[in-house]
Amino acid sequence: MPDTYEKLRVAGAVARETLKAAAAKRSGVAVADLRTESGHVILPNGSRIAYVALAAEAAKIPPVLDAKPRDPSKWRMLGKPMQRLDIRAKVMGELKFGIDMKMDGMLYASVKLNPGKGQPLKSYDASKARAMPGVKKILEIKNGVAVIATNSWYAMEAVDAIACEWAPSAYPAEQADHWKVLESSFKPEFLGKEWRKIGDIETGLKTGTRVEAEYRAPYVAHQPLEPLNGIGLVTDTGMEIWVGHQSPRFVQWVAATAIGLKPEQVTFHNQWTGGSFGHRLEYENVRVLAEIANQMKGTPIKLVFSREEDFLQDIPRQIAIARHRGSVDKSKIVAADLQLASTAPLKGLLERSGTPSKDPDGQLAAGLWNVYYDIPNFRATSYEAQGLSPSTTWRSVGASTSGFFTESFIDELIHAAGLDPMKARIAMCTVPHYRKVLETVAEMSDWKGPLGNGRGRGVAFVESFGTPTAEVVEVTATDRGIRIDKVWVAADVGKVIDPVNFEGQVQGGVVWGLGHAINCELTYSKGAAQQTNYNHHEAMRIHQCPVIEVRGLENDPKVRGVGEPPVPPAAPALANAIFAATGKRIREMPFNKFIDFV
């Protein structure tokens, strides 16, 4: 939205005024006497000329480049709920996703790849698989084996029967060793960047009462409902590929590179995706599909990853540790020194896409440096851990971990200073329209201080992707565990383009953030991911889901997106609420390792 909103408005205005100019030329009336409505130019006498009837004439005249977008006060559609064109097909189950695609003469493929991500296959025994129903071929590919069969189930069953010996992972085999690498990464040689420095941090830390805390966030899988899949057809002249992906040019480049073609020899047909959350910015299914289709030249091949293989090959969200120090004196936060060690999600993605960067990973530090509180001595520093499992973009990227660390620590400092968590944040906030977001969520939740009787509220405020978002979570400590009762969310997006879509995006982001904070982690043993299905990497269930009240503010001068910003505040708001209700401070995700939930 932030990237395209103004560009598309200007493009639409230029098209509108150019079509009016064409209509004026055809009808012999002044442009000023024309207006537009519902895809037509309206003449002074009320007659209508459809845009499509004017398109050829408009293409022959100079575009009206000084056209002005319509004033928001005159909007007819923007700012109002609109029904998506695809919504009926989705609701009725008629929309074709990538996994639904079929072609005449198609065969099916499933794969077993080295769980060490990118490491080779040493040997395999496919004798059992060859005798199984529907099996057409067994293929060796770069990092594993593939079965070609007459349907996807036969292919998955057969590939599961292949015994493989793998080369060891290039990354630590056991999860404990991943944490050890992170713990040892707070050193100058791993410095990413000192992103922000205000005042004299060391002097500030010596003033008043010192507060220190360490926070942790694990690897987390993307777990979209639709597993990785695609159809590939290689001929003597090139390749066609049908796959749902977030980066079309990347698909062409990866497929071409895998089988020795030029990118222009690859025709890409993008498909609807059943979820991605950053998963489909990676390329493993594209490379594997190209290799298989190249060995089955002339035959359309439909590749479908099993759920387990999708988890095993997932390049997860970054793992991270934060070591924060601060001090409070005379009911004020005097200093905050925020330090983070993590894998670099954006840098890794760029390197794998053939565009490596030597710059510090800015996404790694999102939610760490952009703290808009009046703290006189402040420093934010990131360290980039080396030799760990690669990480990639995941809904809200770096802010999903750093937001939890930062807002949890700010809450600890506020409590150490004897202040109210909401009032203190509002008083410290340095940006007026950001402060309004906090004031709005305070008003929505009727914040009046501690609730008592085993109930608690927590607040968190994170700016990510330019969108300031504040959330209040209310919980009750019951005999069976923590119950999440309600969530209030306020976000300033400049303009709420579609109120219903806005509300849905925010609610979805909150559920995503809460569910992963409570339940999810991806751990490694013997070089392989241990969580390979939803029963061990569980999203939030409907019985856990609270009522979520949403309000959009329009004070920002720019239009902002809302797909990712609701995620980062969810975890710290919940952790802060649990502390308010129980006195227990949770500093590591997932929370269910430390406390039960209803």
Residue whose structure tokens are 């502390």? 579
pLDDT confidence bin for 537, thresholds 50/70/90 = very high
Of all residues in the chain, the percent with pLDDT exceeding 90 is 96
Distance between CA 191 and CA 339 in Å, rounded?
Answer: 10
Of all residues in the chain, the percent with pLDDT exceeding 70 is 100
Mean pLDDT on 525-549: 96
pLDDT confidence bin for 557, thresholds 50/70/90 = confident
Handedness of CA 136, 284, 394, 96 (dihedral sign): negative
Distance between CA 328 and CA 182 in Å, rounded?
Answer: 28
375 close to 333: Cβ distance less than 8 angstroms: yes
pLDDT confidence bin for 366, thresholds 50/70/90 = very high
Q: Which pLDDT score, from 0 to 100, does residue 234 have?
A: 99
Structure tokens at 157: 């069953």
Q: Which pLDDT score, from 0 to 100, does residue 289 have?
A: 99
Mean pLDDT on 382-406: 97
* Residue 26 β-bridge partners: none
Provide the mean pLDDT of the chain. 97
pLDDT at 1 exceeding the cut of 80: no
pLDDT at 221 exceeding the cut of 80: yes
Mean pLDDT on 531-536: 97
pLDDT at 283 exceeding the cut of 80: yes
Mean pLDDT on 272-281: 96
pLDDT at 484 exceeding the cut of 80: yes
Mean pLDDT on 312-327: 98
Q: Which pLDDT score, from 0 to 100, does residue 353 have?
A: 86
Mean pLDDT on 491-520: 97
Is the pTM value of this prediction over 0.85? yes
- Which of 346, 567, 338, 578 lies closest to 462 in space, CA to CA? 567
pLDDT at 226 exceeding the cut of 90: yes
Mean pLDDT on 133-157: 98
Backbone angles phi, psi at 255, to 5 degrees: -60, -45
- Which domains does the chain possess? 5-70 (no CATH), 98-168+223-313 (3.30.365.10), 185-220+316-593 (3.30.365.10)
DSSP per-residue string spanning 291-350? HHHHHTTTS-EEEE--HHHHHHH---BPPEEEEEEEEEETTEEEEEEEEEEE--HHHHHH
Q: Which pLDDT score, from 0 to 100, does residue 109 have?
A: 99
